[in-house]
Amino acid sequence: MRIIDASSLAKYVNHEKGWKNIESYLIEGCVTLDLAVKEVLNSIWKRYLRSEFKIEQAQNIMFEFLNNIPVKTIAQNKYLADAIKISLKYKITIYDSLYLALAIREGLELITSDEKQYKVAISENLKTILA
C-alpha cells in the first residue's frame, strides 16, 4: 500500500503527461487524505476557468471522480499537528505537509508529482516516488 498525494491524483484524473504511470500504482492500491478529493476537484475547476473544459464536461469529470474515487481516503485531522511541524521546518504548505505526516506516521511510501514535496520527503528519509 502506498500514499498518493493530490498532485499525482490530479495528474491521473486530468490525464496529464505521465498519467498512465500513476494508473499502475492505483491498480496496486493506494490511500490518500480526504483533502485530496477537494484538491483534485479544484484542479478540474481551474481547467474549466482556463476554458480547457466546457461546464458540462467539467461537471461530468467531477462527478465521475466523486462516484469512482480510485483510492481509499483517510481523515486528515489526526495528522495536523505533525503537518504543522513539517510545514514550519521546511517552509511548505500545510496541504503538502499533511501527506508527509501521513507517510511518516504510517510508514508508507509516498507518490507525488510535486518536486518540492519530493525533496522534503527525501530529507525526511521517506521512500518516495516522483511520478
Q: Give per-residue pLDDT as tens, 10-27.
A: 999 999 999 999 999 999
User: Domains plus CATH for the chain?
Assistant: 2-35+71-130 (3.40.50.1010)
- Give 91's pLDDT tier (boundaries 50, 70, 90): very high
Tell me the average pLDDT across 77-93: 98
Q: Kindly indicate the confidence band of residue 32, based on its pLDDT and cuts at 50, 70 and 90.
A: very high
Distance in angstroms (rounded) separating the CA atoms of residues 77 and 102: 10
Cα 124 to Cα 120: distance, rounded to the nearest angstrom: 6
pTM, full prediction? 0.93
Q: What is the pLDDT of residue 109?
A: 98
**What integer best gives the mean pLDDT of the chain?**
96
CA–centroid distance for 91 within its chain: 18
